[in-house]
A and B are shown apart, each in its own frame.
Chain A
Amino acid sequence: MTRKHLPRRTFLRGVVAGGGALSVGLPLLEAMLDVNGKALADGTPLPKCFAVWFWGNGTIHTEWFPRATGPGWTPSRVLSPIADVAEHVHVVSGTTLPIAGRFNKHVEGPAGILVGAAPTGTPHAEGANDWQYLTVPGPSIDEVAADHLGTPAFRSIVAAVTPPHDTAGGPGTAITYGSHRGPYAPNPPARDPRALFMRLFGAGLPGGAGSTGPDPRALARRSVLDAVRGDAASLRLRLGARDRERLDRHLDGIRDLERRLDGSAEPGRATSACALPRAEAADGSDRERNQLFAEITAMAFACDLTRVASIQFSSPASHSPLPDIFSASSLDRGSFHEHGHLRGYDDFVVRGVQYLTDRFGDFVRALLAVREGDGSLLDRCVVLGTSDIADGPNHGEVDWPLLVAGHGGLARRGTHVRMVGENASRVPLTCLRALGWRGESWGSGSFRVTEAVAELLA
């Protein structure tokens, strides 16, 4: 893949922005890396980056992990598609996610692994399949990471490749979304790579070099946001605590917009690798859209437009038929989820988990392809790859699939750690620790852990 380096003027003018344009913080393109590519020339360390890459319906719990432990692992059948990046991927096997088994596992699993908590039930959630009434009690790991890593121009990237599991429209949010700011505060994912590209890269910087004066549109937007803030302040006085919290979240979003319009966002620390990613998918396949989300995320990290991403390849339970590998005309076509239930560990499931592992691999490869100094973007990133259940055919929670790619605060060489019976939550904690997060513990209730996986940390 070749990438054109970004001419400064092109970036400043921006590409065509449909509707309203928003400016983004100007990456420091002139900043050069030090000789090792570990910091900017002035000694400022490069920011770390974090991504969740999630797929639905698990793996094959008895055989996904490598046979031997330690660095330089030899791929299992399931992991064979990522043999090429094994140097950069850590595998943690043997863990159990301590879900209560009170609700549907496709809801308890993602809440457990990504939020570190049981989903919040309401008295409406009376059945195992009442996922539409369940939400999460707190922020997901990507939001915790965003708080910790700071927000340059954009708080985070949230994207999804296959359609959501949303067969009913109750107030719950746990089955549908992978990224949450709190209960009933999901971050809806971008589903169209081009829309994500436009949001991140689609605008120029008003008043910057090559521009002819103040952008009247930005001026109007600033003025409107001022008035919106005024309206919100009056409104706030009339509200109860619950709605004040919702309005405060609204104002948080306004503040992000204002900081971008004012150029007062934390200045991005872009590296010389920062370039415009592709905006258009070669085709509409899941594989290609995942690839495009990966490339856009990689460049958003390199340009320091954001430091966090949450990519949901398929939603919990994965009702995607994985059309890239299975023919639509075949009567055998059914979702990955269905096949797990109906056929057990047959060829479909094996090919399915291999295909999904390879898509995780694509995400890792996209970060690896961004060269910074004598290394790659992946050297300062942490990518957590995981799912909603351990295993499709048995829908269990034993031997949870946990892949951690990158070297941001993590060991230099991909390693396999097997820790049978340990709490799977230790791996999300390990990711946060690698990013330098110093919270006392991760998770609540049975998910609460205080001890990271030492072998993974640098």
Chain B
Amino acid sequence: MRWNVTTRLALGATALVLSHGCVGVLEGTPTWSADPGSGSRGMPRDPSDPSRPPPVGPDGALRPEPAGLRLMTRSQYARSVRDVLGLTPDDDAPVTPVGNARISIRAAVESIAPSTLEEYGDAAFATASWVVADATRARRILGCDPASTGTSCAARILDTVGRRAFRRALTEDERARWLGVASSVAEASRSPVAGIEALVAGLLQSPNFLYRVEVGVPESTSGRVTYRGTELATRLAYFLWGTTPDEALLDAAESGALDTDAGLRAVVDRMLADPRTRVGMREFVSELFEIDALDHVERYHPDFPSFSEDRGALVESFLATAVATLEEGALAELFSTQHFLVDARVAPYLGLAVAGLRPNEFVRRELPAERAGLLTHPAFLALYAHYERKTSPTFRGLFVRKRILCGVVPPPPPGISTILPETRPDRPMTARELLAEHQRNPVCASCHAAIDPIGLGLENFDQVGAFRTTDLGLPIDASGEMEGFVFDDAVGLAHAITGHPALASCLTTRAVELAAAIQLPTVPAELAEARPSSWRELALEVAESPLFRVAYAP
């Protein structure tokens, strides 16, 4: 079945929004209210909350404040250190992820703890020691001989490593300050190499490296600031490559290449042609599904006793599949692809033969008929479960409704217990029967009608994502309906999601959250018309959006 015309018209081009209490489930278009205390977002704005969504102007348009200090996420940190030093994959430098934030919106609000600061310091000195420990290696990486006397090597490092670390050229003050570090340490320890080591370690601890500084350039009197030059290049680099801008990108930014729409487009196209864009794809999908969190999730299953050892492979399979899918074509295929990249650890979860597979070598395999798309990947299905041995149709459905389709779902009314009755050994019930309470009680049903049917469509997959046709010995009914689209099972659900009119604008919204660190509970008006069908179109949609390029002084 295809999306029927009336559903399309009724929904228009907008995300589904559930009102307070969800009475009348399909209610209108998302609106951004200028009044922070009202609107459809379920909670008054707390002005003291640093992660609040952006204010709204009198015209209803978002007025995000400058992003300011953006900590690197753990993975961005490790890649950035390597790229600042220009390391190759063969370099066995002791660079590991450091920091506390795994997703961009947290990294934009979180403070560095004292203990984390020590870790940054230790990591920077360990890396710098590694760089200078071998004279040949040091000359290759630094472009000069660290044992030479005088300031010429340090000055050169500031032009190369320093510029990449700060993502811009250093100011005169900064140059003087850091040359002072190199020379004073060299003098006191009577070792030029020690001076260079301190300089390299220091640049990697500067706030100008640990934070991406995005304050923008003020326009005359409007209160608007625009991200330009190297700041805009930095935004692009972390969004599209998941790392710091390289020298060519900084050169282009300094030459004004990003100042025009055409120039920006050309630079984005060049960046998308670079293999590093796979990292950008990977980070986007990783943050969208928050899939890294599987790291410390426990699930118990008699057939998969090694789940906790397989988690890493499941995440890798999930992300490698996502990247391969995005590289090949349509954005929506993330939710309908017929192929996963699997290794020997992952295949059994999919019911695929292990023959010919090895651990940690991921190869493309066609999926069994009961699966389609990333929502049927065991990494997702295991992460969005409830207890260690139970699925959660509500969590899975809520994820799809909110995160993938940008629907707004208010909290259960105060005083309502959200704990479902438990199945008893003498009277087993399927999840559908347990959740029937949600449908019987009109207070629950008004919201859960938009959540549970999606999750129940995935009930053929258990708490580790293995396929099943029964639960507690009872047959599973995975059929359902979503905005008029009737489906029989997870594959039908995959088609409903792939064709959902809210999907493309919602994925664009999620990409803006990552790229611009603006929290967006639902699709803002600025992105309501966004219909990217590929990674390239998504990238351009974000890069050209005012939400990515403009902010407003608070």
A residues in contact with B412, CB < 8 Å? 127-128
B115 at the interface (CB under 8 A from A): yes
Contact B109–A321 (Cβ < 8 Å): no
Contact B110–A240 (Cβ < 8 Å): no
Contact B111–A228 (Cβ < 8 Å): no
**Given contacts A249-B112, A341-B387, A240 and B103 within 8 Å (CB-CB):** no
- In the complex, how many angstroms separate the beta carbon of A442 from the nearest chain B beta carbon? 20
B residues in contact with A227, CB < 8 Å? 177-178, 180-181, 202, 206
**For window 95-144 of chain B, which residues contact chain A by CB distance below 8 Å?**
100, 102-103, 105-106, 108-118, 121-123, 125-126, 129
Contact B177–A171 (Cβ < 8 Å): no
Contact B118–A22 (Cβ < 8 Å): yes
* Most chain A CB neighbours (cut-off 10 Å) among B302, B383, B521: B521
**For window 229-260 of chain A, which residues contact chain B by CB distance below 8 Å?**
230-232, 234-235, 238-243, 245-247, 249-250, 252-254, 256-257
Contact B118–A199 (Cβ < 8 Å): yes
Contact B122–A19 (Cβ < 8 Å): yes
Which of B62-70, B268-276, B434-442, B538-546 is the contact stretch?
B62-70
A19 to B128 Cα, complex, angstroms:
10
B residues in contact with A188, CB < 8 Å? 100, 113, 115-116
Contact of B110 (CB < 8 Å), options: A120, A184, A342: A184
A129 to B46 Cα, complex, angstroms:
19
Contact B207–A235 (Cβ < 8 Å): yes
- In the complex, how many angstroms separate the beta carbon of B137 from the nearest chain A beta carbon? 18
Contact A199–B115 (Cβ < 8 Å): yes
**Given contacts A124-B519, A128-B412, A164-B296, A183 and B68 within 8 Å (CB-CB):** no
Interface string of B21-59 (1 = CB under 8 A from A): 000000000000000000001110110111111000000
A122 to B41 Cα, complex, angstroms:
10
Contact B46–A331 (Cβ < 8 Å): no
A130 to B205 Cα, complex, angstroms:
34
A199 to B113 Cα, complex, angstroms:
14
- In the complex, how many angstroms separate the beta carbon of A155 from the nearest chain B beta carbon? 6
B residues in contact with A219, CB < 8 Å? 185, 188-189
Contact B388–A230 (Cβ < 8 Å): no
Contact A123–B202 (Cβ < 8 Å): no
A253 to B205 Cα, complex, angstroms:
13
Contact of A242 (CB < 8 Å), options: B41, B50, B207, B419: B50
Residue of A nearest to B407 (CB): A126
A101 to B413 Cα, complex, angstroms:
10
Contact A240–B65 (Cβ < 8 Å): yes
Contact B202–A234 (Cβ < 8 Å): no
- In the complex, how many angstroms separate the beta carbon of B194 from the nearest chain A beta carbon? 6
Contact A183–B49 (Cβ < 8 Å): yes
Contact A169–B293 (Cβ < 8 Å): yes
**Given contacts A164-B296, A182-B111, A231-B206, A122 and B53 within 8 Å (CB-CB):** yes
Contact of B118 (CB < 8 Å), options: A166, A246, A257, A335: A257
Contact A122–B42 (Cβ < 8 Å): no
B389 at the interface (CB under 8 A from A): yes
- In the complex, how many angstroms separate the beta carbon of A66 from the nearest chain B beta carbon? 30
**For window 277-300 of chain A, which residues contact chain B by CB distance below 8 Å?**
none
Contact B213–A238 (Cβ < 8 Å): yes
Contact A128–B194 (Cβ < 8 Å): no
A342 to B425 Cα, complex, angstroms:
11
Contact of B388 (CB < 8 Å), options: A101, A132, A226, A319: A319
Contact A169–B103 (Cβ < 8 Å): yes
- In the complex, how many angstroms separate the beta carbon of B346 from the nearest chain A beta carbon? 20
Contact B395–A186 (Cβ < 8 Å): no
A residues in contact with B106, CB < 8 Å? 169-171, 184
Contact of B117 (CB < 8 Å), options: A137, A163, A254, A331: A254
A243 to B66 Cα, complex, angstroms:
10
Contact B411–A126 (Cβ < 8 Å): yes
Contact B521–A342 (Cβ < 8 Å): no
Number of contacting residues on B, CB 8 A?
Answer: 92
**Given contacts A168-B293, A334-B389, A232 and B207 within 8 Å (CB-CB):** yes
A350 at the interface (CB under 8 A from B): no
A212 at the interface (CB under 8 A from B): no
Interface string of B199-234 (1 = CB under 8 A from A): 001100111100001010000000000000000000
A residues in contact with B298, CB < 8 Å? 163, 319, 321, 335
Contact B388–A338 (Cβ < 8 Å): yes
Number of contacting residues on A, CB 8 A?
Answer: 88
**Given contacts A168-B293, A221-B125, A338-B389, A253 and B117 within 8 Å (CB-CB):** yes
A residues in contact with B315, CB < 8 Å? none
B residues in contact with A342, CB < 8 Å? 387, 422
A residues in contact with B129, CB < 8 Å? 19
B398 at the interface (CB under 8 A from A): yes
Contact A220–B126 (Cβ < 8 Å): no
A250 to B188 Cα, complex, angstroms:
28
- In the complex, how many angstroms separate the beta carbon of A310 from the nearest chain B beta carbon? 12
- In the complex, how many angstroms separate the beta carbon of A356 from the nearest chain B beta carbon? 17
Contact B109–A171 (Cβ < 8 Å): yes
A412 at the interface (CB under 8 A from B): no
**Given contacts A122-B52, A188-B113, A216-B194, A167 and B297 within 8 Å (CB-CB):** yes
Residue of B nearest to A235 (CB): B207
Contact A102–B297 (Cβ < 8 Å): no
**For window 206-229 of chain A, which residues contact chain B by CB distance below 8 Å?**
214, 216-217, 219-221, 223-224, 226-228
Contact B111–A170 (Cβ < 8 Å): no
Residue of B nearest to A155 (CB): B114
Interface string of A181-197 (1 = CB under 8 A from B): 11111111010000000
A263 at the interface (CB under 8 A from B): no
Contact A166–B293 (Cβ < 8 Å): yes
**Given contacts A126-B43, A220-B185, A239 and B105 within 8 Å (CB-CB):** no
Residue of A nearest to B390 (CB): A338
B residues in contact with A249, CB < 8 Å? 111-112
Contact B53–A123 (Cβ < 8 Å): yes
A433 at the interface (CB under 8 A from B): no
Contact B50–A184 (Cβ < 8 Å): yes
- In the complex, how many angstroms separate the beta carbon of B8 from the nearest chain A beta carbon? 26
- In the complex, how many angstroms separate the beta carbon of B308 from the nearest chain A beta carbon? 10
B426 at the interface (CB under 8 A from A): no
B residues in contact with A319, CB < 8 Å? 297-298, 388
A residues in contact with B398, CB < 8 Å? 127, 129
A90 at the interface (CB under 8 A from B): no
**Given contacts A124-B521, A126-B521, A227-B177, A171 and B110 within 8 Å (CB-CB):** yes
A337 at the interface (CB under 8 A from B): yes
- In the complex, how many angstroms separate the beta carbon of A456 from the nearest chain B beta carbon? 31
Other A-B pairs beyond A171-B105, A253-B117, 18, CB < 8 Å: A22-B118, A120-B46, A120-B48, A122-B51, A124-B53, A163-B298, A182-B111, A183-B49, A184-B50, A216-B189, A220-B197, A221-B125, A228-B207, A234-B174, A249-B112, A252-B114, A253-B112, A319-B298
7 intermolecular pairs with C-beta atoms under 8 Å apart: A122-B519, A126-B43, A185-B113, A220-B198, A224-B181, A238-B215, A329-B305
Q: What 9 pairs between A and B have smallest CB-CB spacing?
A: A163-B296, A253-B114, A224-B202, A171-B106, A220-B198, A253-B117, A243-B68, A338-B387, A185-B111
